[in-house]
Structure 1
Amino acid sequence: MEIQRLNSDFGIAGQLDIFPGQGGFPMIKISNGSAKALISVYGGQVLSFQPHDQVEDVLFLSQQSEYVAGKAIRGGIPVCWPWFGPDPKGLQRPNHGFVRNQFWQIANTEAINGAETKVSLMFNETFKQENTWRQPFMLMLDITIGTSLQLKLTTFNTGDKPFSITQAFHCYFRVGDIKRVKVFGLEDCDYFDKLDQGSQKTQHGAVTVSREVDQIYIDAVKKLQIVDPVLKRRIHISSPNTSTAVVWNPWSKTSMKMPDLANLDYQKFICVEAGNIAFDLIKIQPGSQFSLEANYSLLAD
């Protein structure tokens, strides 16, 4: 009945359909003149984005993902908010915040034209719990599916006190072979190596991956590029309101400890994450708002 109501309120004939996905989670399926996509209402998470000229999905989604309330879905683009990484206050709250493992609400859907579809998801303070997050707020996530994938996450401070957040779009990009991928745009940037006690280092040349990596880049440029010679494409990442970026891959040893990831899956993805992370702390005054934006587009190589 809930799915029927959602389709009645938000479905778009010939372009957008809402159906019960794995775990019974409501899923939004989009197919327009430019691309097809899959969005989970749980987590407010884009799970798939595939322009019609692409043989492979732009995003990686683990076949071993758990679709269980309270757990994050492994892959796609999880939303990290209101903190990135471990609980900054050490209160044993979830890694990467709480919105990626809760249900959002569909606020609006729109066929901009035959080749572009926009979905707006909302997360409000009804979640507010004494031991998790005491500040009144509202989030709006705008997802636009066209020749590119556009994301805009807006945080509204609806209370009477300022609060600070870190946040990120935790993108899992599908690649042909992790060992052959290069990430451009971070050359000469300093970064914190989380696998070496957070020591500060400098990136020399393009980023390549031949072992486990977990690196937070500071003073990062607004445009990055993933070059994938196996899938013969370039993924462009543009994020105007950020100054930090993360590159992550768990490699073989850590992957084996992750039940929602197959042992060899690390070879098939790279996480390049745009966000306001670490020292890029965003303070939002009462009655104010801040938007994290990102655009993901492709070029054949």
Structure 2
Amino acid sequence: MNLADKVQALYAEYGALKGVTIEIYKQLIAVSVKNKAASATIFLQGAQLAEYKQAGERPLLWLSDQCDYQVGKPLRGGIPICWPWFGDLAKNPDQVKDQISLDVVPAHGLVRDQEWCLADVKLIDSETTLIKLELDVQPSDLWPFPALLKLEVTVGRSLSMNFEVINTGDKAFSFTSALHSYFNIAGIERVEVLGLEGVEYIDTLKDWRLSCSNNPLRVSSEVDRIYKNLSGVVLINDPGFVRQIEVTSHNAPDLVVWNPWAEKAKRLSNFADQAFHKMLCLENAHLLDNLQTLAPDQSFSMGLNCRVSIT
């Protein structure tokens, strides 16, 4: 089915729903929803949420203005889904690595450039819209196990996402995954992250050493940390936008905090040299020792909830 036919089919099924539009960004299809409380845009490629904005407020998420919206090329920003491995496969647990026979594999897994199926859009009430997407993963040279992936996005006074993995095959498999959220901020130098005080983290920029701090996190250089076994709410305090972003995770005990800073920003694709000033990634995840193993017919779900409050 070509692009025009896909859009026509989606319009036939969902185009009559209030606040729902089907859009084309160059080569990619996106579904946008708008209700009394908020609006959002999600791309079928990668099931990637690109925008969420409460009514009358600034966007919650950062999305690069250099995205090229091409088939097979993941977008930079929003909330990409990383599965069945996170980051560099070589830095994942042996249980995950040993399942992969190829020498060269993409970072962050195999679903960011796959086209998902729009399974449903429901208008729950005047302030809440539910979007459901699914991906039927078939065995391949890259990943030898069948699986069904489901994503539910609830757009309302807060943003909720739930990511589910179902083992549809006859063999067990292991994986790591993350919801790789890029948050929109006024300026990285003034932002502080609360809720990580006293939590142990792995500093991947310092030989993966284990560290801990009792102070709120302030970013003044490249940061790439994995906070382990986190519980509770994490807050981004952003005085430039006069707001706090509250991030709560579900069944995702690890949190990656990432900002590339100036030098690495110059080497990133679809990323302006100075864009690091305007974004901060807090990535709800289960990594390393918190990998998941699913037997046939078993499922696993993880999620997040984001809420913005004015300070």
TM-score after normalising by structure 2: 0.93
Of the candidates 155, 158, 161, which is equivalent to residue 145 of structure 1?
155
Structural mapping, 1:34-73, within 5 Å:
34-54=37-57, 56-73=58-75
Measured after TM superposition, the shift of residue 204 of structure 1 is: 2.6
Amino acid at match of 2:298: S
Structural mapping, 1:217-232, within 5 Å:
217-232=227-242
Instruction: Name the CA distance, whole Å, in 1 between partners of 2:232 and 2:253.
Output: 7
Q: Which residue number corresponds to residue 91 of structure 1?
A: 103
Instruction: Name the CA distance, whole Å, in 2 between partners of 1:86 and 1:167.
Output: 12
Measured after TM superposition, the shift of residue 175 of structure 1 is: 0.3
Instruction: Name the CA distance, whole Å, in 1 between partners of 2:107 and 2:68.
Output: 16
Q: Which residue number corresponds to residue 172 of structure 1?
A: 182
Instruction: Tell me the secondary structure at the aligned position of residue 56 of structure 2.
Output: coil
Deviation per CA, 1:40-79: give whole Å up to 9, x if none: 111100000000131x200000001132222210000000
Q: Which residue number corresponds to residue 288 of structure 2?
A: 278
Amino acid at match of 1:9: E
RMSD over aligned CA atoms reads 1.2
Amino acid at match of 1:283: T
Instruction: Name the CA distance, whole Å, in 2 between partners of 1:222 and 1:12.
Output: 40
Q: Is the 8 A contact 1:222 1:243 kept in 2?
A: no
Q: Which residue number corresponds to residue 215 of structure 2?
A: 205
Q: Which residue number corresponds to residue 9 of structure 1?
A: 13
Amino acid at match of 2:293: K
Structural mapping, 1:125-136, within 5 Å:
125-126=137-138, 128-129=139-140, 131-136=141-146
Q: Which residue number corresponds to residue 36 of structure 2?
A: 33
Instruction: Name the CA distance, whole Å, in 1 between partners of 2:84 and 2:14.
Output: 28
Q: Which residue number corresponds to residue 241 of structure 1?
A: 251
- Asked if residue 18 in structure 1 is aligned to residue 22 in structure 2, the reply is yes
Instruction: Name the CA distance, whole Å, in 1 between partners of 2:173 and 2:216.
Output: 36
Amino acid at match of 2:36: G
Instruction: Name the CA distance, whole Å, in 2 between partners of 1:190 and 1:59.
Output: 26
Instruction: Name the CA distance, whole Å, in 1 between partners of 2:23 and 2:68.
Output: 18
Measured after TM superposition, the shift of residue 12 of structure 1 is: 4.4
Q: Is the 8 A contact 2:164 2:302 kept in 1?
A: yes
- Asked if residue 82 in structure 1 is aligned to residue 84 in structure 2, the reply is yes
Uncovered stretches (5+) of structure 2, i.e. residues with no partner: none
Uncovered stretches (5+) of structure 1, i.e. residues with no partner: none
Structural mapping, 1:279-298, within 5 Å:
279-298=289-308
Measured after TM superposition, the shift of residue 167 of structure 1 is: 0.6
Runs ≥4 in structure 1, deviation > 4 angstroms? Answer: none
TM-score after normalising by structure 1: 0.96
Q: Is the 8 A contact 2:230 2:255 kept in 1?
A: yes
Instruction: Name the CA distance, whole Å, in 1 between partners of 2:268 and 2:252.
Output: 29
